[in-house]
């Protein structure tokens, strides 16, 4: 849907421009994003957080396994009501562990978005500034096969300009 929208905007702009040349810029968000020093810091923080969640999941899994082994060893000697109670306890522990894994995945994704949001904002602000300074009609992100061909004669690769604007080596 986004591709279709961008194509429509592109053709509408091209039609309105008529014989006038249409100038645009293009860049790779991924290459700029991963080259930022702040990206490495965000990655490390996310990795540390992921390790903490993994550690807790392993602890919970070990606890469950120990209780399950104990249950297997004693189940023959238990009366039906106690057997049922212990089975229910194990089921509840397993359900809580599954819920924790889902919540941890959600929280990690949220932390990832929060960590990257300021970086993306800096990049897009620089893109807007460069686009305005260069008089571009629009600036394309060439990642994700969204733009399989860009004619360098009609457009300008602004990756070097972004690297300079964001102080990236």
pLDDT band at 117 (very low <50, low <70, confident <90, very high): very high
DSSP β-ladder status, 24-27 and 138-141: parallel
Question: Percent of the chain at pLDDT above 70?
Answer: 88
156 — pLDDT class (breaks 50, 70, 90)? very high
Q: How far apart are CA 24 and CA 153, in angstroms?
A: 10
Give CA–CA dist 153/149, Å, rounded: 12
Mean pLDDT of 95-109: 97
Q: What pLDDT, on a 0 to 100 scale, did the predictor assign at position 1? A: 53
Look at the alpha carbons of 149, 139, 21, 17 in this order and tell me if their dihedral is positive or negative.
Answer: positive
Band (18; pLDDT cuts 50, 70, 90): very low
CB 30 within 8 Å of CB 143: yes
Query: What is the residue-averaged pLDDT of the chain?
Result: 88
What is the edge-to-edge ordering of all strands in the sheet holding 138-141?
A: 138-141, 24-27, 155-157
Q: What percent of the chain has pLDDT over 90?
A: 78
Confirm if 102 and 53 have CB atoms less than 8 A apart. Answer: no
Angle of helix 80-134 relative to helix 37-74, nearest 10 degrees, comes to 170
Rounded distance between C-alpha atoms, residue 113 and residue 34, angstroms: 15
pLDDT beyond 80 at 3: no
pTM: 0.74
- Burial of residue 127, with CB atoms counted within 10 A of its CB: 0-12 exposed, 13-18 middle, 19 or more buried: buried
């Amino acid at each position: 849907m986004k591709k279709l929208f961008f194509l429509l905007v592109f053709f509408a702009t091209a039609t309105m421009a008529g014989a006038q040349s249409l100038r645009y810029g293009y860049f790779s968000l991924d290459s700029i994003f991963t080259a930022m020093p702040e990206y490495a810091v965000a990655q490390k923080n996310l990795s540390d957080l992921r390790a903490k969640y993994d550690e807790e999941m392993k602890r919970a899994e070990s606890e469950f396994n120990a209780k399950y082994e104990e249950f297997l060893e004693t189940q023959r000697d238990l009366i039906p009501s106690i057997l049922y109670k212990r089975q229910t306890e194990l089921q509840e522990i397993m359900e809580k562990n599954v819920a924790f894994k889902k919540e941890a995945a959600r929280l990690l994704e949220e932390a990832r978005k929060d960590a990257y949001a300021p970086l993306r904002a800096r990049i897009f602000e620089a893109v807007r500034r460069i686009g305005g300074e260069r008089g571009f009609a629009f600036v394309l992100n060439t990642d994700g096969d969204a733009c399989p061909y860009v004619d360098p004669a009609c457009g300008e690769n602004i990756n070097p300009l972004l690297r300079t604007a964001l102080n990236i080596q």
